[in-house]
Structure 1
């Protein structure tokens, strides 16, 4: 046992030494991006894979970090991108063609793509570790002392890759992962003095969850709904709603506590799940493995779901990056679908303040790199203000990361803390609407090449002269799932939405025309073959 402890302690010490290398190299985020670096991007979505199954096309979510290819605009940067299955060449070409001022061939020569050729239900990082020859190829491609690793989220798997490659990991230490869970978030909010809804401690059994729910209802007898959350749920897919209205007769003050608990135990098996196809049998089996909490459902006639994103440097400095209004779906508006940037002016500066407090607490615990904080905002008409309640921390990259980084890299602009606006180099405020979930049955069967034909024919591409237009992602989900991601950038919220709606109209027309011979379609642009 002592040998095992010594081994773990040695590995932890080595990992910390690697992390300190980032602190030694760090000057500022902009200067860091401009330095001579090799970047290993491991876009593994290393969360509970059964939870990830609730997301259609989850395997292709590795494509969400393809915005990292825009880092190749720095002519000294080299980048290695690893995926579970090979990326279509046309998708890579699409991103490289977006690079301003860099010849395509120059960028392509500095990009190395690897694949595990493994579509099984395992995190990508695990697949990489199971392939020592692939690990060796990656190690040989990286320059010692000039390389670091970037990932979607940091777990023991990513730490193991970091250690085996002797490579600093630009991400939080996996030992800090708890602070990005539902219960950990609540503790950070309390420590930071950030308002958050009443809720329970973390529990690990159905009986304890029922008891915690009863205690919450006792403290808040006016509640009509309670949110049940798996502690490590993903994108709201692990949330479920408990409707208390049918139980009013057995609520607090009407019957004994034991009777309330008994009624809740009968009712909880009929939770309204936010993930399609979820069942109580499956959901309840996850509670002993992932843990769960009960939290007060926040009501409001005018309610929104904003978020703030920030960055903790290796030196512990906290920098606000952006604010968003999230677009949520599902039966009760719990599942992340997309976002609008920036958040409403009525609360975006307050979001920044609360986000900064959370970041300072996380930094004290040793966290680095990106994090996001989700809120619920309820309008108070008597004061014409918004009440903000923090509900979750994402101690990782999230659904708002790639749209904002796309905006930043495509416009080369800056975020203004005093206004919460992002302005281009010319001083023009920029706005966008983004989604990972533009999904329609009629889009099934469209391949990336078809999408490129449509983009070219209808001029849906991003215009580098006006810094407006659409950048597409998640193209790998299109053919099988009819699902696509995009970020539509405009000079106003209205223009961004119109650009987005135009994309939808065109895709609807094109896919309708596949079934209607009377509607003209964009013809495939085949490669030219020269006669000899």
Structure 2
């Protein structure tokens, strides 16, 4: 008789949650990097199906010689892209790791979740299932939805991830409930509304309780990467001068023209709901830090990293990249809140990756931390951390919150999924590798500095690239980032028969130095 999803998850072993067990583990991991999320929001992400490449850094598990990996994508990954990751793994020959890696694809680049494509191909699933050792295999996913749950039950292989029945705790409303339970500070806000009338009522109630508010933010309950968030300016509406009824009419009219990135947001409002939250501002400085952790089978919570998120886009809420670690002034507080939330999630039965986004404001010299939302899945900070752990074998120091190499040297990085320039279009991954080698941009384990690249599939078609730039200090990591971006784009311009402008970064080259963070971050993508 086939086992249920919950019965299958009971088979998960504690060591399977560790990227490197070091104890000769013998198991198989099926990696399904499907972005099974709202299609209207995913359509806003350039080259979305290429984001399946980011989870290649999970192949860090191949450092254990008894581990085998099966990696599935929509389209076949070029060998060069795979080898570029395997060559980063210290302590194991690339050829040995490659023999234990099996690649499959659905030969379908359509804008649909990879897991959905897999479920439509029973013959392919049978071939994959035949490779997995019974009782010694599990599935690793970017996010767990009903699709991934079906995949687990179809293959009769347990999935290391949170049951979608617990997805509420990763929504905007669930996050606020979790913060209240854990005593974690968070901004004033509303419950869920599913139509404009109720949303305008919730907005009016929020303003009436906080009449100093000049702006609030409307959040779709399941928005990602900030694309489900939109600011609403309150000050121009002169709400204090209006009657209660007129105030609500005015707010409804303003909501009708809300600049939400998702064009179909009113339909999404009816489907998933939205809430309104105070827009935090003021103080001498603002930043958007986050903390990441994982919940192992058995309930043990492990903190993995802290970051400063880099935000941009039309409303300053779209996730563009990150710097690790977060500022020392509040890093340990982030970790304390992150552990409390992780333990509460573990008590609910959650598993694997989670992240918590915050706003940090310096007021009269002191930092005020306010939690914004929980991401109950992998996100934009997951793969840079995986990359750093893969290339250094280092660990997070729980006392300082610093990531330490085995030598004890603290390491920092700046990462992005959004280095873009028109002259990068047309370059093949092989061209990028040549540029990196010629300019000595690659990560050097002897110097503990350099760059690691991802999203190579986006390069030729979209002129877009991801990279993680490592250094022994925040300043060095930033210098590596700037030098790598300048060298890549300048060399690309030469290959395209153009000259780079003197005295500065080529225009349109994506994120430069870290900008001041917007005060209402979106979820990592």
| TM-score > 0.5 by shorter chain | yes
Change (3 A) 1:478 1:29: closer
Q: Which residue of 1 aligns with 2:515?
A: none
Answer yes or no: is the 8 Å Cα contact 1:39–1:147 preserved in 2: yes
Change (3 A) 1:23 1:373: same
Paired with 1:189 and 1:256, the residues of 2 have a C-alpha distance of: 34
Paired with 2:18 and 2:494, the residues of 1 have a C-alpha distance of: 51
Question: Of the candidates 242, 246, 250, which is equivalent to residue 255 of structure 1?
Answer: 242
Deviations 1:442-479 (A, max 9, x none): 21111111111111111111112223211100111111
Query: Secondary structure in 2 aligned to 1:272?
Result: coil
Report 1:360-379 matches (<5 A): 360-379=343-362
Change (3 A) 1:346 1:219: same
* 1:286 CA drift (Å): 1.6
Deviations 1:383-418 (A, max 9, x none): x22101100100001111111111112111121111
Larger radius of gyration: 1
Question: Of the candidates 12, 16, 21, which is equivalent to residue 22 of structure 1?
Answer: 12
1:358 aligns with 2:341: yes
Q: Which residue of 2 aligns with 1:421?
A: 402
Deviation larger for 282-291 or 179-188: 282-291
Report 1:127-526 matches (<5 A): 127-248=117-238, 251-252=239-240, 254-273=241-260, 275=261, 278-279=262-263, 282-300=264-282, 301-380=284-363, 382=364, 384-516=365-497
Paired with 1:266 and 1:458, the residues of 2 have a C-alpha distance of: 55
* 1:81 CA drift (Å): 0.4
* 1:125 CA drift (Å): 0.5
Paired with 2:316 and 2:14, the residues of 1 have a C-alpha distance of: 44
Answer yes or no: is the 8 Å Cα contact 1:410–1:467 preserved in 2: no
Change (3 A) 1:326 1:34: farther
Deviation larger for 370-379 or 286-295: 286-295
Answer yes or no: is the 8 Å Cα contact 2:33–2:72 preserved in 1: yes
Count of aligned pairs between the two proteins: 499
Answer yes or no: is the 8 Å Cα contact 1:33–1:71 preserved in 2: no
Paired with 2:496 and 2:9, the residues of 1 have a C-alpha distance of: 55
Change (3 A) 1:168 1:502: same
Paired with 2:449 and 2:193, the residues of 1 have a C-alpha distance of: 48
Unaligned runs of 5+ in 1: 1-9, 520-532
* 1:272 CA drift (Å): 3.2
* 1:321 CA drift (Å): 1.3
Paired with 2:76 and 2:387, the residues of 1 have a C-alpha distance of: 22
* 1:239 CA drift (Å): 0.7
Paired with 1:516 and 1:370, the residues of 2 have a C-alpha distance of: 45
Answer yes or no: is the 8 Å Cα contact 1:444–1:480 preserved in 2: yes
Change (3 A) 1:517 1:378: closer
Answer yes or no: is the 8 Å Cα contact 2:225–2:318 preserved in 1: yes
Paired with 2:300 and 2:132, the residues of 1 have a C-alpha distance of: 28
Change (3 A) 1:205 1:101: same
1:101 aligns with 2:101: no
Query: Secondary structure in 2 aligned to 1:31?
Result: coil
Deviation larger for 310-319 or 471-480: 310-319
Q: Name the structure with the higher helix share.
A: 1
* 1:113 CA drift (Å): 0.5
Q: Which residue of 2 aligns with 1:528?
A: none
Q: Which residue of 1 aligns with 2:35?
A: 45
Deviations 1:82-115 (A, max 9, x none): 0011112210121122122322221111111110
Answer yes or no: is the 8 Å Cα contact 1:26–1:32 preserved in 2: no
TM-score normalised per structure 2: 0.92
Question: Of the candidates 43, 55, 59, which is equivalent to residue 45 of structure 2?
Answer: 55
Query: Secondary structure in 1 aligned to 2:10?
Result: helix
Q: CA RMSD in A?
A: 1.7
Paired with 1:56 and 1:177, the residues of 2 have a C-alpha distance of: 26
* 1:38 CA drift (Å): 0.7
Paired with 2:116 and 2:339, the residues of 1 have a C-alpha distance of: 34
Paired with 1:493 and 1:487, the residues of 2 have a C-alpha distance of: 13
Paired with 1:394 and 1:267, the residues of 2 have a C-alpha distance of: 29
